[in-house]
């Protein structure tokens, strides 16, 4: 026998909705990324001018920029992370 399976549409909880991208979140993400990139470029330029080793080459700058970006990524994407805990009433 074949059973009819009804599909229930489950309402999204506030925790699930928090991770959804919205226009405001995307604009904030763009602005935070842009500001952070400008800060990193200025920092790398200043350190390169001061003669810090490994920042004299393009690859050294790219590697340092990548490391800084990996460190800052969780803070940038914080708004899109869903909360894993449930507040009790």
Please tell me what DSSP assigns to residue 80. G
- Got the DSSP string for 41-54? HHHHHHHHHTT-TT
Q: How far is Cα 55 from Cα 46, in angstroms, rounded to an integer? A: 10
From first to last of the 89 residues of the chain, give the pLDDT tens digit: 555 555 555 666 666 666 678 898 899 999 999 999 999 999 999 988 998 888 888 998 899 889 999 999 988 888 877 766 556 55
The pTM of this model reads 0.65
- 3-class state of residue 49 by DSSP: helix
């Amino acid at each position: 026998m074949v059973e009819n399976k009804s599909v229930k549409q489950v309402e999204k909880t506030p925790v699930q909705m928090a991770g959804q991208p919205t226009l405001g979140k995307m604009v904030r993400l763009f602005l935070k990324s842009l500001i952070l990139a400008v800060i990193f470029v200025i920092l790398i330029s200043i350190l390169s001018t001061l003669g810090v080793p490994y920042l004299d080459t393009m690859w050294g700058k790219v590697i340092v920029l990548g490391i800084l970006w990996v460190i800052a990524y969780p803070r940038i994407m914080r708004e899109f992370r869903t909360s894993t805990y449930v507040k009790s009433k």
